[in-house]
Structure 1
Amino acid sequence: MAPDEVVFTHEVVDFQQERPAWRLHDYWETLSGLSDTLGKSYRHINASHEPVVRETAWGALFFAICGPAPDSAERTAPRIKAVLHSWDSLQHGRYLHKKLNTFLDLEELMTAACGWAMDAWCPEGGDSVRSRLEVASERMARATRENCVEAILRQLPQILPFTDRKLLSHPEVVMDLALWREHLDTMDASKFERISGVRPGWVLEALYRWDRLLDLH
């Protein structure tokens, strides 16, 4: 990438379609087109193409910052590592992510998009965003279920304040940190995988799901 080239990472900021720029978010259309052309499900196309596309700098960046869920620790680790592998070729761009007219460098972009991973898996900080991502991705790659549980419990005090209490029927249960360990221990593998990377949005989704389940008992 030439210095100062503009990259739109998200369609919400891409209001100048005539402007020459890299448009990372267009890869969603590529995935959809492949799904339609090959007659395969979107999930199948994504799973089969991600490892190959991730070897390119653009593919690595796409899957790390706006790729499809689930954001498990196991699947997030190689996405972040792929960006680190292409770091030098990506650091010259000016990125427009989710705020209009707010240009970010690569470190600022990765903080905005993947800061949750650094907070959960490298809470002690580091000398740079790049070094924190290296530590976080290594820990995520090696994480056991118990490691993930501890990371979730460690981050809950930062995540729970974003809960919309008006949507809860049982806040005294789902907002109680002491009850979360037992809840996580009893969660089935597929649901736990979705939150094992400790992305705040998915943890909150699990909280609301837990609250709805309590209505059935």
Structure 2
Amino acid sequence: MTTASGPGLEFPALLHGSLAATRRRVSAEGHRWTQEFLQTRSFTPPQRMRPVRTDEVLIMHMGAEFLAPAPGWRPHVFIEVFTNLGHGLPASERQRAEEAFETFCLGTAWGALHYGVAPPPKRSAERMARRLAALLRFWEALEGPRYAFWPYEQTYTLEALVQDLYGKTLEAWCPGGAASVREHLSLSVERMSHATRRECEEAVMRVMPALLAANKDFKHREGLGDPAFQRERLAALSPDDFESVSSAHRSAVNGLLYEWDRHLRPVDCHPSEGESRQRLKPTARRAEHQGVERPPIRGKRS
């Protein structure tokens, strides 16, 4: 016999079904939300909700579709709502609509899960603190089901999923950890939400060694790993560029490292030095969307 997950956990019914059906419904809901925003400047939840049982698996990544029952829960499809959300809005209204939509979603368990697992840019310290605080508010409800994530043939607890996604970031913000992932997340969110730029720089620098160790395809690992180089380059970032990585989110910082790595080149120093050093070519390109290979999940099996 199965029971409802946590205290009455419900997700939009449009996220349950076959992959094709779920995509159609998410697309339609994105269009409805756009029209609603045009008329009311606000958003309302989908009309049909469905209870989530403790024996059900939530597919959180397209790469885990092979674990999905048909029909089943496919929260990863929710990201496709952004294809339609804002379509037909004036360009001047899109940022306002996106911000209002995020605020609306963070007031729900399903929205907090989405913005926690697949946070869109910008991943600033302030914004990620809000997103992760929302995940903490719904933690008990979301502990019930299990989660499938690319590309492994097992499902995971909420704690294991968060540890995989944010373990390095949490350690950067709160070295030494805490008794549980939930407590570690809570402490990190508190620090992140009040951090100065200097504190954010320190967190970003603490996460870099772990990322450099996990990704073997950097061409200039020694140069990238130099703390003096890291500090100089972080200080040189514009406020807008720095904001994008200030949370020490793994993907955002990895993208920055790849950007630096692509533009590092050996430059001959004064002959008396007898060796080469690394310089960074100027670049105006951003790296927040840089693709990153995900390391293996370490966590509890269900």
Equivalences for 1:1-217 in 2 at 5 Å?
A: 1-15=52-66, 19-36=70-87, 38=89, 45-161=97-213, 162=215, 164-166=217-219, 168=220, 173-211=223-261, 212=263, 214-216=280-282
Decide whether the 8 Å contact of 2:143 with 2:157 is kept in 1.
yes
Q: Secondary structure at the match of 2:66?
A: coil
Give runs of ≥4 in structure 1 deviating > 6 Å: none
**Contact 1:96–1:102 at 8 Å: present in 2 too?**
yes
User: What's the secondary structure of 1:153's corresponding residue?
Assistant: helix
Question: What's the offset of the Cα at 1:53?
Answer: 0.7
Does the 8 Å CA contact 1:163/1:204 hold for their aligned counterparts?
Answer: no
135-144 or 114-123, which moves further after superposition?
114-123
Q: Which has the higher contact order (CA 8 A, sep 6+)?
A: 1
Name the structure with the higher strand share. Answer: 2
Query: Identity of aligned pairs, percent?
Result: 35
Structure whose CA Rg is larger: 2
Note closer, same or farther for the CA distance 1:181–1:107 as it changes in structure 2 (3 Å cut).
same
The C-alpha deviation readout for 1:44-84, integer Å capped at 9, x for no partner, is 54322001011100100100111212221111111111011
Identify unmatched segments of 5+ residues in structure 1: none
Amino acid at match of 1:215: K
In structure 2, relative to structure 1, the CA distance for the partners of 1:112 and 1:43 (3 Å cut) is farther
Q: Secondary structure at 2:104's aligned position in 1?
A: helix
**Aligned-residue offset at 1:18:** 5.9
Contact 2:105 2:112 in 1 (8 A): yes
Give distance in 1, aligned partners of 2:76 and 2:94: 16
The 10-residue stretch of structure 1 (37-46 or 8-17) with the greater mean CA deviation from structure 2: 37-46
Q: Does structure 2 retain, via aligned residues, the 8 Å contact 1:9–1:25?
A: yes
Structure 1 window deviating more from structure 2 (204-213 vs 6-15): it is 204-213
Residue identity in the other structure for 2:202: E
* Deviation at residue 165 of structure 1 after TM alignment: 3.2
TM-score w.r.t. length of structure 1: 0.87
1:22-47 per-position Cα deviation (integer Å, ceiling 9, x unaligned): 21112112222223254668755432
Corresponding residue SS for 1:150 = helix
Could you tell me how far 1:159 is from its partner in structure 2?
A: 2.3
Gap regions ≥5 residues in structure 2: 1-51, 265-279, 284-302
| Cα separation, 2, equivalents of 1:210 and 1:81 | 31
Change in 2 beyond 3 A, CA 1:153/1:71: same
How many corresponding residue pairs?
A: 214
Structure 1 residue 113: Cα displacement: 1.9
Structure 1 residues 204 and 34 mapped into 2: Cα distance closer, same or farther (>3 Å)? closer
Q: For 1:164, give the aligned amino acid.
A: D
Residues in 1 aligned to 2:203 and 2:54: alpha-carbon distance in whole angstroms: 38
CA-CA distance at 1:105 after TM superposition: 0.9
CA contact (8 A) 1:156 1:177 kept: no
More helix by share: 1
Deviates more, 1:12-21 or 1:78-87: 12-21
Indicate conservation of the 8 Å contact 1:54/1:82, yes or no.
yes
How well do the aligned residues superpose, as a CA RMSD in angstroms?
A: 2.4
